[in-house]
């Protein structure tokens, strides 16, 4: 009989993308050495375009120099997936967990992230579905509402998912989102008439829903904190 595992949740507010990469790298290294338990980062980013390992920058439709004028940054990462946009009112969750100790692989993990977002959407009576083959992510009809891009290093995950609560969708017009042309991007705001809570509360609800559907089936206890070790905590 295994003892329940702990998941620590860090609620970070708005975090610059590069800073979040550094935090993730440190946590991955700590998790690998078993210095910390499985950890989940819940945050938002200022306007940021990001690319995955394949560096598909042909899917950025405007010159990189123009991004500054939009108030956005561009970052290259080691995660899977194509180009995407992150910005305010988009819920970001980065689980830093050991897949080996759970005994699952990339496919199973990603499917769990998809299912979690689908369950969260259903709270607002939005019928979302997992992507068809080659279109990993969460969709409402032919409109993408949630994106996934993950890195697995020695069995430890980083990066994760981004769920559109109410981001400014115009930012997506400057890219071919996730490399899939002719498909729209949407948000919870667009898809539901239900009153949405203030974004900070939505983030907490989104994060909680996602981690509950991910974790409570696996006999885990969940600790939530805003650790004092992380300074410059900027609530949205």
* Site for another protein, rule CB under 8 A: 52-54, 78-81, 100-111, 133-134, 136-137, 148-155, 218
Q: Which of 178, 202, 206, 210 is catalytic?
A: 178
Instruction: For another protein, give the closer residue by CB, 153 or 234.
Output: 153
Q: Is-catalytic flag, 178?
A: yes
In angstroms, what is the minimal distance from the CB of 102 to another protein? 5
Please report how close the Cβ of residue 114 comes to another protein at its closest, in angstroms: 9
Q: Which is nearer to another protein, 189 or 212 (CB)?
A: 212
Q: Whose Cβ is closer to another protein: residue 176's or residue 205's?
A: 176
Query: What φ, ψ does residue 109 adopt, rounded to 5°?
Result: -65, -50
Minimal distance, residue 188 CB to another protein, in Å = 21
CB closer to another protein, 154 vs 194 = 154
> At its nearest, how many Å lie between another protein and the CB of residue 106?
4
List, by residue number, the catalytic residues: 178
């Amino acid at each position: 009989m295994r003892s329940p595992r702990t998941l620590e949740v860090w609620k970070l507010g708005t975090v610059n993308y590069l800073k979040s990469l550094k935090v993730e790298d440190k946590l991955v290294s700590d998790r690998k050495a078993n210095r910390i338990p499985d950890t989940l980062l819940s945050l938002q980013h200022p306007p940021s375009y990001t690319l995955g390992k394949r560096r598909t920058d042909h899917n950025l439709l405007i010159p990189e120099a123009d991004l500054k004028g939009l108030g956005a940054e561009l970052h290259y990462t080691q995660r899977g997936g194509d180009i995407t946009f992150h910005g305010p009112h988009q819920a970001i969750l980065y689980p830093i967990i050991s897949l080996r100790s759970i005994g699952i692989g990339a496919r199973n993990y990603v499917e769990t992230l998809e299912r979690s977002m689908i369950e969260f959407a259903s709270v607002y009576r939005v019928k979302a579905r997992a992507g068809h083959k080659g279109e990993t992510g969460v969709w409402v009809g032919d409109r993408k509402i949630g994106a996934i891009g993950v890195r697995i290093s020695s069995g430890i995950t980083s990066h994760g998912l981004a769920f559109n609560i109410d981001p400014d969708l115009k930012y997506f017009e400057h890219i071919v989102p996730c490399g899939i042309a002719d498909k729209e991007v949407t948000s919870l705001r667009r898809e539901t008439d239900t009153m949405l809570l203030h974004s900070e509360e939505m983030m907490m609800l989104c994060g909680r829903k996602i981690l509950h559907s991910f974790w409570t089936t696996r006999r885990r206890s969940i600790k939530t904190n805003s650790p004092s070790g992380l300074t410059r905590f900027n609530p949205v």
